[in-house]
Amino acid sequence: MEYAVVFLPLVGAILSYFGKFFGNLFSQIFSCLLVSISAILSIIIFYNGYTNNIYGNYQIFEWISSGEFNANWSILIDPLSTVMLVTVTTVSSLVHIYSIGYMSHDPHKPRFMSYLSLFTFSMITLVVSDNFLQLFFGWEGVGLCSYLLIGFWYKRNSANNAAIKAFIVNRVGDLGLAIAIFLMFFYFGSVNFSEIFSLIPEFADEKISFFGSDYNLITLICLFLFVGAMGKSAQFLLHTWLPDAMEGPTPVSALIHAATMVTAGVFLVVRCSPIYEFSQAALTFIAIIGMVTAIFAASVAIVQNDIKKIIAYSTCSQLGYMFFATGVGAYHVAIFHLFTHAFFKALLFLGAGSVIHAFKDEQDIRKMGGVWKKIPITFILMIVGTLALTGFPFLSGFYSKDAIIEFSYLRNSSIGNYATVVGIFTAFLTSIYSWRLIFKTFYGKYNNKVIPINKTHESPLIMLIPLFFLGIGAIFSGYFFKEMFIGNLNNIFWKESIFFLKEIKHDYIPLWLLLSTPVLVIVAIPISYYYFIYNQNILENFKKTNMPLYNFLLNKWYIDELYDYLFVNPLKKIGKFFWKKGDEDTIDRFGPDGISKVIKFFSNKAVQFQSGYIYDYAFVMLIGLSALITYLILN
Amino acid sequence: MNFPILSTLIFLPLLGSVFIFLSNKQESNKGAKYVALFTSCANFLLSIFLWYSFDPTIANFQFVEEKNWISGFIKFKLGIDGISILFIVLTTFIIPICIISCINSIKKRMNEFLISILILETFMIGVFCSLDLVIFYLFFEAGLIPMFLIIGIWGGPKRVYSAFKFFLYTLLGSVLMLVAIITIYWSTGTTDIVEIINEIKIPSELQYVLWLAFFSSFAVKMPMWPVHTWLPDAHVEAPTAGSVILAAILLKMAGYGFLRFSIPMFPIASEYFTPLVFVLSIVAIIYTSLVALMQDDMKKLIAYSSVAHMGYVTLGIFTFTKYGVEGGMFQMISHGLISAALFLCVGVLYDRTHSRMISDYGGVVDYIPKFSFIFIIFTLGALGLPGTSGFIGEFLVLVGTFQKNYLAAILAGLGVILCAAYMLWLAKRVIFGKIINSKIETLKDLNFSEMLILVLLGLTVLVFGFYPGPLFETMGVSVDNLINNYQLSLKENIVTNN
């Protein structure tokens, strides 16, 4: 069964790619079917694990074995991986089904389905790995699929650039992860999770010298691991690829850039909780980066106009939440938020896809509006997603996001207090920008001049059914699983898969804290309506008087421009310089070309001696002879 | 073990080339092609049989053949260990592929071309088999001649310049190696490699000089920065099959040379010069990656990326750790497959449009989807994606390097990012995007023979990416032996110095 979960998507990927010879329908049906079976099986595994305690580690075969460096292909089934399995395969199968409708006009359906299945396979190998090398395989594998899918519409230059950017920024992160693996192998002599984790306590105070100063080994490992996580999960400074990644088809954004791949970083940190628990410094760093990302992304999301980019920044911001949750040591809460987020964010993206579909590929929310009566089901589901995202009471986001804020408070440290404040404030911002999206898209005047309002239409059933399932997940997943993931049952559920050095006690929480987030979130709805629909002039005036601030936010804090200025352009210049000045003007000029020139020069001179005239030779002989005689006489 | 299997391997291609030479020129091409293909395939099967009967648990040389050649002076001695067998199989695997690829790309003097390739095969296998310094030198140098002819006769417009540059560079390095070999004979009285490695300790002062002499030859062949500039020119002008052999096998002779000569014969000097090798390798990785980023000629880009990839090989070999050396070995094999395939891919495009300029392409995926699919796979292999053989070599090299010097590993790791940048950018500009050049619309997709060789290479890259076990098993004991001997002689040296 475990093998089937892992390999069915791979089979699906291969079959659907080559299935194009049997027609598009074959590809679509097969890939959907196999991923759905995989989803059902993983739910069974999850259930078996929880009720009957059936966990295990299955070794498939040896991958690399060089000296002490050993890594196997393996399937590790433990509570953490089962949760991830369920999240990945269910969202993936729903997205597969949705894609049949969404991509119905695209000529490359088999390729699309194949990439989606391949992605699912890579993601599964990532989460079921029992060692860092297979994790790295999955890690780069999902990066590859992300690259292929972002650049799916390969005729668009912007899509290709976004794909390359995503891959390269991710590679920067991957280098961090690789260095962490080198460090661990160097000191612990293994790349296996269990072996490394068991050695960590012995090395807790080990100091090593790195770039001239001493660092705590564990902290160093944690920081490099986190660089990897930052790249994959689009955290501040390495986040630039995620908004651009929206060039890909919308189902891809829902699956990869919201529900699963981008959460791999969170998974990595939680998986390595036995390491992170021994480094307070690294945890603090994570918390800070998480908080910065949460606020940064929310602030940018408020002024964006592309419906998908708003949701992308929202994802970024929610990932920030997950990270500062891990930063305060609440790993299980982070995974809980990851779990609920997968449903409501996939719902939002697919809903947005449905809206885009209705407007015939229009993504600018300024060119929408007033259509809620025309697409009522999408509208309702988008409302559900938004409520869940903002943390409206009793929907899934409410349980997980408020839990993050509560646990930050309970940590009772300065970083925890900061996190609480940031969490509440960002929740408010989240609510503002989410409702802005809803109001601008569905309410107000109809602003699209290209398509008349009666041409907009509801999506076909095959797209709405997955939305419906995700809607159920967005509403109930929080309520049903909260006891198990973060409540009283959490010790029984997580077992050894999450490690706490000192557990946060879930005790008294002041009432003001419990109430503040929901109240702010609800208050944000009328505020948002007032500013974005009812009285837009206030904001317009504010925008005009504060142009620099507006531009700063609109241009995403100018980070892309900064990177172009700092890295991209200089590297190109240096490359050109090395090529023209280094290779051609220096090495070749003084090397082979120079030598051959010198030889040519001398041989030309030598040629002049061989004129072929007797008197020339006679003259030379005469000189030689006289020189010889002079020499002899002088001696 | 009476059957002289190694000699057969070496001289079978030569025999084939004699056949082609004697065959009737009039009915020429067809027959010649079949003869060449048949001999090279027979040779491949023979080498597979050799690999199969090779015992990977023994560290000593196997299948040893010994004949007196110039009595008391030079012996014709052959033998293989776990390191050389892999190169032999690589050679015999690549040659048939080259011969199949000529069918589409070589238009003139087909017979002579096939003769050159077969003779080259003889010399290359000779290099990997020989256990006598003089024999090794003969094969090593003789390989230059057919390669020189291949570039000079069947090459592009600037072929003469490139051929001479190639010849001068490599010859200059080799002359010093010849001097070193003569010196070794004078000081030890033998040119038998096994004897020198196992029984004779060369004094350390002499080791430094000899190491440098060998290094000058291998560094040019590898090629290492800053003596790499012949490679891009040679690749650009060489015909496809020439580029493939050059990248896949000729460059590997240098890496093999380090493993067979520099380290076991001159361990003290190897240790002493490690920082030099590290610095040159890292400069090569970063410098040539940046240069590759800016190339507008596909072949030049891949040639520069070869230099960068070879940087990982030298880095790995000179870590003297098991992972590093095995990683370097693996990187060589994998690069042999991947770069060969990439050059073949460029050849496919060149045969159709007669242009290697990146700017002449774009959007080819719509017209030649099979080609594009395969090209992307090799692009991913080149940038070291896990699951392709490219990853394993690079990763192990970096693991090994990290044990010696973390800074070097991090800098070399930056090369991995740059590699992704230039390979993906290449793919984007050639395969994807809008069609600018109207010629693209008339392109024909891969024909049967092109498909066959590219799929073969592609499968090998993927299989070794997921299941590299057989390679590690074959070389494991020999690499262990190499490292143990190396460390032993270093220890002895310390003891004698005290």
- d(CA A458, CA A354) in angstroms, rounded, equals 8
Section B386-399 average pLDDT = 90
pLDDT at residue B328 is higher than 90: yes
- Model confidence at B24, pLDDT cuts 50, 70, 90, reads low
Helix/strand/coil for A71: strand
Q: How far is B472 from chain A (nearest CA, A)?
A: 7
Nearest chain A residue (CA) to B467: A63
Nearest chain B residue (CA) to A160: B428
The predicted structure's pLDDT at residue B29: 63
Nearest chain B residue (CA) to A170: B417
- d(CA A24, CA A634) in angstroms, rounded, equals 102
pLDDT at residue B341 is higher than 90: yes
- In chain A, what is the greatest distance between 2 CA atoms, to the nearest angstrom? 121
pLDDT at residue B122 is higher than 60: yes
**Contact between A588 and B363 using a beta-carbon 8 Å cutoff:** no
Section A370-387 average pLDDT = 86
pTM: 0.89
The predicted structure's pLDDT at residue B16: 84
Q: How far is A73 from chain B (nearest CA, A)?
A: 9
The predicted structure's pLDDT at residue B27: 54
**Contact between A575 and B226 using a beta-carbon 8 Å cutoff:** no
| Average predicted confidence (pLDDT) for chain A | 85
Tens digit of each residue's pLDDT (9 = 90 or more) over A132-173: 999 999 999 999 999 999 988 888 888 888 888 889 889 989
Tens digit of each residue's pLDDT (9 = 90 or more) over A561-585: 787 777 777 777 877 777 777 777 7
- d(CA B442, CA B329) in angstroms, rounded, equals 42
Section B379-400 average pLDDT = 90
Higher pLDDT, B446 or B422: B422
Section B327-336 average pLDDT = 93
* Residues B257 and B83: beta-carbon distance below 8 Å: no
**Contact between A67 and B294 using a beta-carbon 8 Å cutoff:** no
Tens digit of each residue's pLDDT (9 = 90 or more) over A528-569: 888 777 777 777 777 777 777 777 777 777 777 787 777 777
User: Phi/psi at B246 (nearest 5 deg)?
Assistant: -60, -50
Question: Between vectors from CA A373 to CA A369 and to CA A375, what angle results, nearest 5°?
Answer: 85
Tens digit of each residue's pLDDT (9 = 90 or more) over A309-368: 899 999 999 999 999 899 888 888 899 999 999 999 999 999 998 888 888 878 888 888
Tens digit of each residue's pLDDT (9 = 90 or more) over A109-125: 888 888 999 999 999 99
| Average predicted confidence (pLDDT) for chain B | 86
Place of tokens 């292909």: A73
- Model confidence at B2, pLDDT cuts 50, 70, 90, reads low
Please name the residues between 358 and 387 in chain B that touch chain A, using a CB distance below 8 Å.
Answer: 363, 365, 380, 385-387
Interface TM-score (ipTM) > 0.85: yes
pLDDT at residue A453 is higher than 80: no
Helix/strand/coil for A611: coil
The predicted structure's pLDDT at residue A362: 82
Tens digit of each residue's pLDDT (9 = 90 or more) over A62-99: 888 877 788 888 898 888 899 999 999 999 999 999 98
The predicted structure's pLDDT at residue A122: 92
pLDDT at residue B335 is higher than 90: yes
Mean pLDDT check: name the lowest of A144-153, A484-493, B369-378: A484-493
Which of these, A550, A384, A150, A43, lies nearest to B432 by C-alpha position?
A150
Please name the residues between 282 and 341 in chain B that touch chain A, using a CB distance below 8 Å.
Answer: 287, 290-295, 321-323, 326-327
Section B60-78 average pLDDT = 80
When CB atoms are compared, the residue of B290, B399, B466 closest to A182 is B399
pLDDT at residue B442 is higher than 90: no
Q: How far is B431 from chain A (nearest CA, A)?
A: 9
Alpha-carbon distances, residue A628 vs A296, A519, A625, B471 (angstroms): 91, 113, 5, 70
| Contact residues on chain B for A67, CB-CB shorter than 8 A | 321-323, 326
A137 at the B interface (CB within 8 A)?
yes
Which of these, A591, A596, A585, lies nearest to B226 by C-alpha position?
A591
The predicted structure's pLDDT at residue B460: 92
The predicted structure's pLDDT at residue B406: 85
pLDDT at residue B429 is higher than 90: no
| Contact residues on chain A for B404, CB-CB shorter than 8 A | none
DSSP states along B377-424: HHHHHHTT-BTBHHHHHHHHHHHHHHHH-HHHHHHHHHHHHHHHHHHH
- Model confidence at B163, pLDDT cuts 50, 70, 90, reads confident
The predicted structure's pLDDT at residue B28: 56
